[in-house]
């Protein structure tokens, strides 16, 4: 069966395949390389992804209370930490085995959904409920960002020329109107973000009556122009690198006020 979210599901499948391929070759010490996430190493990231899919499959999860951790700031973080901490005593190979098993089962389940099931309301990570189809888009972001975390921890080049990264990159750029208003750009101010090869694309937005609006780049001269590689923008746009640091290092080039650029990039990030 093919459903209307087939492209999203296959993009998630691509992330799972990349994560499995990267982790299959690492030794036990490699599992404990730190990631950009406070308190989490590679094993924790894989445990997080696998344990959530196990939960979404309806598998029993025995009760566990982890020690207090500074990086846990909300109920979603507390849930994630409980699931991850219960697996910290496992060898890396066991965490990978669970990830491999449950992601395969979950993908098969998702591929079999019909349109009525995609429309069913499910719990949202941000509270309340959302349709299953929209939830899959949220889950794709989770896989893409954690694929990036593992890649960076292993000091490998980030694979961006794939459907998952392309979609998340485009969705990040679509947040520019919201970000220019939230980032404090002055009334009438236009901002353009340019992404370079291998995924060239751009987006522009202007502030009118205190709200951000998407505009064509030809609508006027941008007061603020940002230029970045896909990998750099994905890292900053997901909160994995501080905008001011990336700008200071020249990873993100700015024509205009660097402080305003950092504010806009901070506002783009919606990853909890």
For 129-182, the pLDDT digits (tens) are 999 999 999 999 999 999 999 999 999 999 999 999 999 999 999 999 999 999
Identify which of 245, 235, 232 has the alpha carbon closest to the alpha carbon of residue 36: 235
Q: CB-based burial of residue 163 (10 Å sphere; 0-12 exposed, 13-18 middle, 19+ buried)?
A: middle
Q: Record the tokens describing residue 188, joined without a space.
A: 């009438």
pLDDT band at 198 (very low <50, low <70, confident <90, very high): very high
Q: Among 62-66, 177-181, 242-246, 253-257, which is the least confidently predicted range?
A: 62-66
Helix (H, G, I), strand (E, B) or coil at 266: helix
pLDDT at 78: 86
For 215-228, the pLDDT digits (tens) are 998 878 899 999 99
* Ranges of H-type helices in 214-257: 230-237, 243-248
Q: 21-57 burial by CB neighbour count: b if 16+ within 10 A, else e?
A: ebbeebeeebbeeebbbeebbbbbbbbbbbbbbbebe
Domains of the chain: 6-156 (1.20.120.450), 167-268 (3.30.1050.10)
pLDDT at 74: 81
Backbone dihedral angles phi then psi of residue 152, each to the nearest 5 degrees: -65, -40
pLDDT at 245: 97
For 92-119, the pLDDT digits (tens) are 999 999 999 999 999 999 999 999 999 9
pLDDT at 115: 97
């Amino acid at each position: 069966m093919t459903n209307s979210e087939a492209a999203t599901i296959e993009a998630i499948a691509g992330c799972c395949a990349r994560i499995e391929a990267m982790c299959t070759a690492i030794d036990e010490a490699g599992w404990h390389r730190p990631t950009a996430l406070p308190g989490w190493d590679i094993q924790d990231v894989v445990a997080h992804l696998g344990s959530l899919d196990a939960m979404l499959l309806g598998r029993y999860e025995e009760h566990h209370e982890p020690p207090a951790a500074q990086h846990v700031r909300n109920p979603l973080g507390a849930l994630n930490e409980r699931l991850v901490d219960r697996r910290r005593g496992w060898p890396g190979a066991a965490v990978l085995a669970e990830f491999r098993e449950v992601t395969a089962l979950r993908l098969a389940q998702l591929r079999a959904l019909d349109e009525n099931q995609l429309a069913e309301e499910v719990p949202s990570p941000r509270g309340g409920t959302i349709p299953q189809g929209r939830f899959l888009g949220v889950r794709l972001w989770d896989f893409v960002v954690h694929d990036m975390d593992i890649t960076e921890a292993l000091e490998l080049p980030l694979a961006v020329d794939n459907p998952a990264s392309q979609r998340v990159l485009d969705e990040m750029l679509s947040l520019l109107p919201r970000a220019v208003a939230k980032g404090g750009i002055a009334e009438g101010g236009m901002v353009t973000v340019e992404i370079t090869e291998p995924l060239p694309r751009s987006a522009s937005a202007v502030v009118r009556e205190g709200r951000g609006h998407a505009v064509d780049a030809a609508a006027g001269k941008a007061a603020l122009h940002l230029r970045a590689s896909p990998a750099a923008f994905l890292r900053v746009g997901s909160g994995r690198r501080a905008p001011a640091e990336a700008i200071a290092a020249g990873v993100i080039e700015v024509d205009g006020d660097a402080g305003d650029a950092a504010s806009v990039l901070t506002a783009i990030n919606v990853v909890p």
